[in-house]
Amino acid sequence: MSVESLTYVALGARLKISREAARSLAKRLRLPRSHSDDGKALVSVDLVGIRYTPRPPGGRQECNIALLAAKIEALKAEIARLEARAADHRADFERERERADRLTVEMLQATAETMAAKEATARLEGEVAALRAGGRAGRSIDSHGRTASRLGHLAAIIVEADRKACG
What stretch of H or E contains 119?
A: helix 59-137
The β-bridge relationship of strands 41-46 and 33-35 is antiparallel
What percent of the chain has a predicted confidence (pLDDT) above 90?
32
What is the rounded distance in angstroms from the CA atom of residue 38 to the CA atom of residue 20? 20
Question: pTM here?
Answer: 0.41
What's the pLDDT at 162?
A: 75
Nearest Cα to 6, choosing from 44, 36, 62, 47? Answer: 44
Q: Is the pLDDT of residue 120 over 80?
A: yes
Give the mean pLDDT of the chain.
83
- Please report, for the chain, the start and end positions of each structural domain, with discontinuous segments joined by +: 3-46, 59-166
pLDDT in tens, 67-94: 899 999 999 999 999 999 999 999 999 9
* φ and ψ of 61, to 5 deg: -65, -40
Q: For 150, how many CA atoms within 13 A lie in the half-sphere containing its CB?
A: 19
What's the pLDDT at 62?
A: 66
Burial of 29-38, coded b for 16+ CB within 10 Å and e otherwise, reads eebeeeeeee
What's the pLDDT at 141?
A: 47
What's the pLDDT at 167?
A: 64
What's the pLDDT at 113?
A: 93
What's the pLDDT at 108?
A: 97
Nearest Cα to 22, choosing from 32, 10, 30, 34? Answer: 10
What's the pLDDT at 60?
A: 58
